[in-house]
Amino acid sequence: MNKPMNRYAWMLLRAYLPALVALGLAIACMLWTSLFASVAMLHALVPYAKWLPPLFLLAALGAGLFATLRLWRWQHDQAPKCAGCGGPLGRLRHGPHGDTRKCLACGSRQPV
Ligand SMILES: [Zn+2]
């Protein structure tokens, strides 16, 4: 009973990973500016560094929206599905044996 839920949770985590990474970078930059604002050498960089958190937040928002759109399309049968498990497929990857998409649910590579 517990396994399909775990699988779905992992799938969501994989889909939203770029958004989470961008969010983590935004938080790291916010901490960086507050932690090192007093260091003289890094103080000169603060006017530039303060623009990074909003940029990363914007990237996180964009990646989150993109992942939501992809999952929405998958749920409404408008996106290609994994031949093995029917899960949503990730972004297009160019490999030595042609273009593939990785399944977000089971991790298998599907030829496009
Ligand atoms: Zn799959």
Where do the structural domains in the chain lie, given as residue ranges?
3-79, 81-112
Rounded Cα distance, 67 and 8, in Å:
14
What spacing in Å lies between the alpha carbon of 83 and ligand 1's midpoint? Answer: 7
Write down the pLDDT at residue 80: 87
In the three-class reduction of DSSP (H, G, I as helix; E, B as strand; rest coil), residue 108 is classed as coil
Q: Which two tokens stand for residue 21?
A: 């990474």
Question: Could you report how far apart the first and last alpha carbons of the chain are, in Å?
Answer: 33
Strands (E) located in the chain: 89-95, 98-103, 109-111
112 residues of the chain, pLDDT tens digit each: 456 668 788 889 989 999 999 999 999 888 876 776 666 666 677 677 778 889 999 999 999 999 999 999 999 999 889 999 999 998 889 988 889 999 999 989 988 8
Write down the pLDDT at residue 41: 67
Write down the pLDDT at residue 30: 81
What spacing in Å lies between the alpha carbon of 89 and ligand 1's midpoint? Answer: 8
What spacing in Å lies between the alpha carbon of 58 and ligand 1's midpoint? Answer: 30
